[in-house]
């Protein structure tokens, strides 16, 4: 009798600590785990090490999970605590299969860690959870927190799952299912296919309506496009695809932000489509107030996301905001429908489709049609809106046609009056025609005289510019790309040889055309006087004396309102015996390319003219190497407008062009510059004189 009682006691003890096994097969794609199939252990400090769990000492510490049992004191579990769950699996399939342990998608827990011990003693760890980066998750499908494990056929294994509690965690929301890997992949592919079809419909609608908006410039189309884009963002978030790239934002107001973008675009579209500013002015004011509140909420959500402030807006508040916006848009549509405003009928029908889709989503959520109810409702709504937009455009077209007919009638009346006036004017026109003909002949004669004067001025300017032979005698190779904007130029180049040194100047005078050419003639005269007569052969001193001469000649004393005419230029003095090159610049740089590398010398940031903060010009001395290329230029080439977008050429592309072609012969470089300049300018006007000089030493 005692032996029987002992056996019964052992059986009762075994039943007390026994745990129901979760049976896995390859022909059942998904299995729900009940509370009786898992036991838990509260770990307040999260300091239990996984190897300890696989020892017999911890076996009795696990308790049967029962949310109705007050003795378990589940309410004492707080954020920051950890809970261990134990699962016992039995694989009855005929081959090794990988399974997915799937927490409830509505649960929100910071971290899941799944531990499995293999016969060789190795313990594997699988990681997932809301606070885990997507790339670190064991399975990254639509932001899910699934954990994958493997079992050999006919084996039984015990797995332990550690769950970290956070502020948004609700323990009663935590349920689990187990699915085969193949079934998870099949379902995901099917879901992505359906979502892709729905996404394609939205994208097609966006692409279809963009040209329509650009054609008719109707604001309803623009707000409608924003409305579809807002829905697109909402569905990407709803399906969880955004969480494959970034951690979940459950605590951040991202959901509220997307809802507010959607509501804002919906209110703007409804106001524009129903034309409440003209048809219902009172409701238009109400809609404007609602739009203002929505914009404020949108700004607040953006600030909360940027500064990572937890959201204080509950799901119920978002739901009420959506209902209120729908009400504010639908009521004016009802009123306008009674007034026989045809577009209002489509607006009401479209929103009925949306409401039916929401009803399907919540009432049939366990069926396929219910899971995609919102997508069905949105698709029908968008199609109905598109038809309604077409109807509204036709209505606007008919209104315009009526207005055009009224205008045509008015124009006919005006034409009769115009004919009468024209007959009276014809006589006066004949009188004036003779006078105009005489004036035309006089203007043509004056133009010929002016053209002759310009051509003669060009001839004079060409005469004073250094001939090409001078450069050929002094340098190994050179080119001069010189193109005035008008017949005469404000840019010029100058060269002289003094005491076995070569003085070179590239100058951009203020203005172009006749004023610029007068400045250039003054500059050439003064340079000749300074270098050839005064024997000044220091680059900085040439600029200093040239500035003084210009200020004296043009009577520049710094008084308010006086002309600031002057020159931006570069002066070089080259000594062939030492290969030393002196450089001084006034607002213009010099480029030297040595062995494929460009060095830029900027000079002083002031013109050769009276200047408020002027100081003495400075000079730099550079020792040139064999084969060095030097480039001097005005701002005419970089500042020329052109290209596909009509923008400036700019200095960075100009530098790249010089670097790209510097090793070519100088004559070929000039041809390239001319070709690039002409292609860039295209049909646009040349805005300034162009001067680019290239010298090879």
pLDDT tens string 290-339: 899 889 888 887 887 777 676 655 556 677 777 888 888 889 988 988 88
The predicted structure's pLDDT at residue 539: 93
Quote the tokens at residue 389.
């937009």
The region of weakest confidence among 20-29, 396-405, 559-568, 628-637 is: 396-405
- Give residue-wise pLDDT tens across range 483-522: 999 888 889 999 999 888 999 999 999 887 778 888 888 8
pTM: 0.50
The predicted structure's pLDDT at residue 547: 92
The Cβ of residue 505 has, within 10 Å, a number of other Cβ atoms equal to: 26
Q: Is 536 exposed, middle or buried (0-12, 13-18, 19+ CB in 10 A)?
A: buried
Q: Is 428 exposed, middle or buried (0-12, 13-18, 19+ CB in 10 A)?
A: exposed
Q: Is the dihedral of CA 667, 669, 675, 677 positive or negative?
A: negative
Average pLDDT over residues 182-207: 89
Q: Where in the chain is the domain with CATH 1.20.1070?
A: 188-400
Quote the tokens at residue 612.
């408020």
Residue 149 belongs to what H/E stretch?
strand 147-151
d(CA 545, CA 505): 14
Spell out the residues 6+ positions from residue 496 whose beta carbon is closer than 8 angstroms to its own.
502, 503, 527, 528, 531, 532
Spell out the residues 6+ positions from residue 486 whose beta carbon is closer than 8 angstroms to its own.
454, 512, 513, 514
The predicted structure's pLDDT at residue 422: 74
Q: Which residue has the higher pLDDT, 323 or 117?
A: 117
Is 188-400 a CATH 1.20.1070 domain?
Answer: yes
Half-sphere exposure in the Cβ direction for 565 (13 Å, CA) = 20
Strand intervals (E) in 370-436: none
Question: Does the structure show a pLDDT above 90 at 662?
Answer: yes
The predicted structure's pLDDT at residue 312: 59
The pLDDT confidence band at residue 17, using thresholds 50, 70 and 90, is very low
The predicted structure's pLDDT at residue 311: 62
Which residue matches tokens 């931006």? 568
Average pLDDT over residues 578-588: 95
Q: Where in the chain is the domain with CATH 3.60.40.10?
A: 466-696
The predicted structure's pLDDT at residue 313: 58
d(CA 304, CA 257): 10
The predicted structure's pLDDT at residue 664: 94
Q: Where in the chain is the domain with CATH 2.60.40.2380?
A: 19-186
CATH superfamily of 466-696: PPM-type phosphatase domain (3.60.40.10)
d(CA 619, CA 581): 10
Residue 601 belongs to what H/E stretch?
strand 597-601
- Percentages (nearest 5) of helix, strand, coil residues in the chain: 50, 20, 30
Question: Does the structure show a pLDDT above 80 at 13?
Answer: no
The Cβ of residue 122 has, within 10 Å, a number of other Cβ atoms equal to: 8
Domain at 19-186: CATH architecture: Sandwich (2.60)
Question: Does the structure show a pLDDT above 70 at 107?
Answer: yes
Q: What are the beta bridge partners of residue 521? A: none
The region of weakest confidence among 326-335, 364-373, 585-594, 647-656 is: 364-373
Average pLDDT over residues 380-406: 83
Closest CA to 603 of 627, 626, 622, 619: 619
The pLDDT confidence band at residue 104, using thresholds 50, 70 and 90, is confident
Average pLDDT over residues 400-416: 81
Percent of the chain with pLDDT strictly greater than 90: 38
Average pLDDT over residues 610-628: 91
């Amino acid at each position: 009798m005692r032996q029987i009682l002992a056996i019964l006691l052992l059986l009762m003890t075994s039943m007390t600590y026994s745990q129901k096994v979760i049976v896995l097969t390859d022909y059942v794609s998904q299995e729900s785990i009940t509370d009786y199939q898992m036991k838990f252990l509260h770990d307040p400090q999260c300091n239990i090490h996984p190897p300890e769990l696989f020892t017999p000492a911890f076996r009795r510490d696990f308790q049967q999970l029962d949310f109705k049992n007050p003795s378990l004191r589940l309410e004492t579990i707080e954020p920051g605590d950890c809970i261990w769950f134990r699962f016992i699996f039995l694989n009855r399939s005929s081959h090794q299969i990988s399974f997915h342990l799937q927490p409830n998608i509505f649960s929100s827990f910071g971290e899941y860690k799944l531990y499995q011990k293999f016969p060789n003693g190795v313990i594997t760890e699988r990681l997932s959870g809301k606070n885990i980066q997507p790339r670190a998750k064991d399975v990254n499908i639509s932001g899910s927190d699934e954990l994958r494990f493997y079992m050999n056929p006919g084996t039984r294994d015990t797995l332990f799952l550690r769950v970290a509690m956070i502020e948004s965690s609700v323990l009663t929301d935590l349920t689990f299912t187990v699915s085969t890997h193949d079934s998870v992949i099949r379902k995901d592919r099917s879901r992505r296919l359906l979502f892709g079809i729905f996404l394609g419909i939205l994208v097609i609608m966006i692409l279809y309506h963009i040209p329509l908006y650009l054609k008719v410039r109707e604001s309803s189309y623009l707000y409608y496009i924003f409305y579809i884009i807002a829905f697109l963002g909402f569905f990407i978030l709803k399906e969880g695809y955004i969480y494959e790239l970034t951690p979940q934002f459950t605590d951040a107001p991202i959901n509220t932000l997307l809802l507010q973008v959607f509501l804002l675009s919906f209110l703007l579209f409804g106001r524009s489509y129903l034309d409440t500013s003209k048809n219902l002015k009172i409701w238009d004011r109400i809609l404007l107030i609602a739009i203002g509140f929505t914009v404020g909420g949108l700004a607040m959500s953006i600030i909360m996301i940027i500064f990572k402030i937890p959201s204080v807006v509950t799901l119920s508040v978002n739901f009420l905001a959506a209902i209120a916006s729908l009400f504010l848009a639908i009521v004016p549509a009802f009123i306008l429908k009674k007034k026989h405003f045809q577009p209002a009928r489509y607006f009401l029908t479209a929103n009925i489709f949306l409401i039916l889709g929401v009803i399907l989503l919540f009432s049939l959520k366990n069926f396929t049609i219910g899971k995609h109810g919102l997508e069905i409702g949105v698709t029908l709504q968008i199609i109905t809106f598109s038809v309604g937009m077409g109807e509204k455009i036709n209505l606007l077209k008919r209104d315009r046609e009526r207005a055009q007919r009224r205008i045509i009638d008015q124009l006919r009346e005006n034409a009769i009056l115009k004919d009468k006036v024209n007959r009276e004017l014809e006589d006066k026109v004949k009188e004036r025609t003779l006078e105009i003909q005489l004036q035309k002949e006089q203007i043509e004669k004056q133009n010929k005289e002016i053209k002759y004067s310009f051509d003669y001025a060009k001839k004079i300017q060409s005469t004073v510019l250094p001939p090409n032979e001078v450069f050929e005698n002094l340098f190994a190779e050179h080119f001069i790309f010189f193109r005035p904007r008008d017949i005469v130029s404000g840019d010029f180049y100058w060269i002289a040889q003094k005491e076995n040194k070569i003085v070179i100047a590239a100058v951009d005078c203020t203005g172009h055309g006749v004023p610029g050419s007068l400045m250039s003639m003054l500059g050439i005269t003064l340079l000749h006087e300074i270098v050839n007569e005064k024997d000044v052969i220091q680059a900085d001193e040439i600029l200093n004396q040239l500035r003084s001469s210009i200020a004296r000649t043009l009577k520049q004393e710094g008084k308010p309102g006086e002309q600031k005419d002057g020159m931006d230029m570069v002066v070089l003095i080259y000594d062939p015996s030492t290969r030393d090159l002196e450089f001084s610049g006034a607002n213009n740089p010099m480029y030297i390319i040595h062995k494929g590398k460009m060095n830029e010398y900027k000079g002083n940031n002031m013109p050769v003219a009276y200047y408020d903060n002027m100081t003495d010009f400075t000079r730099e001395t550079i020792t040139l190497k064999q084969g060095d290329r030097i480039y001097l230029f005005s701002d005419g080439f970089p500042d020329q407008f052109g290209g596909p977008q009509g923008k400036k050429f700019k200095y960075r592309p100009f530098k790249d062009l010089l670097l790209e072609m510097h090793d070519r012969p100088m004559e070929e470089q000039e041809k390239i510059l001319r070709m690039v300049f002409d292609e860039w300018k295209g049909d646009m006007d040349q805005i300034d004189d162009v001067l680019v000089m290239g010298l090879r030493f």
